Structure 1
Amino acid sequence: MSHPHVVVDPHEVPGTYAYHRLPRTSPRTRWWRPLLVGLVGVAVFVALLAVGAVVVLLTALASGPGGLDALGTLDIADLGDPLAFTLAMLSIIAMLPAAVLATWLLGARPVGLLASVAGRVRWGWAARCLALSAALALVVTGGDLALAALQGEAWQPRVDATSWLMIGLVVLLVPAQCLAEEVVFRGYLVQTVGTWLRHPVFALVLPVPLFVLGHAYVNLAMVDTAVWALAMGWLVWRTGGLEAATASHVVNNVLVFSLGAVDLADLDLVDIGPVALGVSTASTLAYLGLVEVLVRRTGVATRRLVAAPPPPDAPPAAAVDAGGPVVVPGPLADPSRSRTSPRS
């Protein structure tokens, strides 16, 4: 059973809010504010990329005559090259500080509402989802390995100094890259649509094409990406935060890039076959089901309940939120007695 995260804050509008409606907790919410946040975020992102480009150029110049030549021949799309991989990941990671800074300056207060209904990252819940996703990935990868063995196609990894360097870069950079994409596509964009439209379907579906177009995939690989994005959007709404979706994203990308580092996965792949699509979809649905079980067992907060401040002379009363007992003054400690209409 899930519980709401209960707060009493005179700076928030009383009501019950799903994740996609969290910007509506602010009395300063206006229809144009998410657009302004997006413009500021893009400006910060471009500025960060420009600073990064200058740093790379100065580093190449300082490295000697061959530095510029090496930079000029660099194939940024070659994710098997450590330098190209690093630059590609950092260019995506730059979206994270851009989105957070723009939201902090102009958007929801606190900025932690981008993370969850609790206004922060719920680290315990994130750890559970990460363990669940890793276990599922281990089962699927083990099945793939067993199937390859039965077909006489034993895995033959290539392990050398470059492989170890790549794996180190994957562990260091990929979690931040995944978090950046989740904050933008399942955080900012979902909450932007949710600011305008109440029904969650709009908030979950409309950002999906942008996420798909952000990847260089075609045909069934695009379908696979869309299915996964829809599933992760549903998880964000169902669990009240980005933790479950981010956990799945991190495990998937770390696994794929790590396998690619030892030549067990093709990092240049842009399409997949029907069997691969079926396996991927089944894995995604399995993760949804397992997270649903976890939600019901842990009672993680999936909504934010903002109770109205009581009259100054009202006696204190106890209320319970997902994290345990808290003290909420006044008769509105019981959500069912609130005189405000619920907000989705």
Structure 2
Amino acid sequence: MNNGLEDVVAAETQLSHVNGEAGQLIIRGVSLDRLVAHARYEDVVTLLFSGLFEPIADAAEFGRRLGQKRVEIFAHVETIDRDLLALPPVDVMRALIARLADGDDLDTALMLLAAPAVFLPAVLRLKRGETPVAPTPALSHAADILAMLGARVPNDAAVAALDAYLVTISDHGLNASTFASRVVASTKAGLTSSVLAAISALKGPLHGGAPGPVLDMLDAIGTPDNAQDWLVRALDQGERLMGFGHRVYRVRDPRADALKGALKQLVAAEPANRDRIELAEAVEQSALAVLRLRKPDRPLDVNVEFYTALLLDALKFPRDAFTGVFAIGRTVGWLAHAREQSLEGRLIRPRSVYVGPLPQQAA
């Protein structure tokens, strides 16, 4: 029944494609497995921004300009007061971004890429009673984030792991936060407004707020030997297994394998995390076996949240900051979609289907 409404047409985009049946993510014509193997964050931003903003010579030039923007953004850190700091990290970050100019050009886009990368480490350090660390513009984006978080230049393995994460989550079709970004952009509001709308959608537990509980689950399981019994009891009690299942993917989430590969390389360089990944792999195998047995009619496989939690934990981000780190990586996708929508010039205005009572007819 169409209720007199026109057929719904999917949004057209050149940015990314999610094939849930095949378990494939394509970003600007490049499959995720190839992209994450060869690209740094600066490369994927250059790729996504291509044709949407004024051209940048190459990823190196983009990195230089983004480094300068991180330095400019750092001046806003001094406005963080005690009341603001009492909020969750992602809310502090959102409040600080709301102070920024609401333009629609490349300069605004670069500012918005720099903002969460600078604000989140500063907020986390202030919450620990430590002094924020100023950006180092000569560093890559991933390296500078880790340097601002830990007050030291990170090792190559850690930088590569964060780069892999930022590339992997850079864009993912028309998810809730990206749709929010496009809706706001369609009104001709600026890019800052679009990013703020996207962050507000992302912070919900059904979207970007799920990776932290994966670690809570692993903590509760404790050792690989406990995995199967714990998972069975959880399902018996009607609980959801965190990090499994996806609204779009009918098979394994390709982002999970990209992050698992990055995590293994990090563990090879930093063996202190080895026990954690061994536990995670045991839980993954047990969960898949239990889910196949208990829910044979539902295609439930590991999703991006599972190895996101392990990777960010290994990089020393606290659990309550995971949504903020996600925002650092996804902002490029939000900006690209917002700009694409703004250039298209159409207002997104879906029609509702009224299902309430009708006026009583006179007798």
TM-score (norm: length of structure 1): 0.24
TM-score (norm: length of structure 2): 0.23
Higher share of residues assigned strand? 1
Q: Which has the higher contact order (CA 8 A, sep 6+)?
A: 1
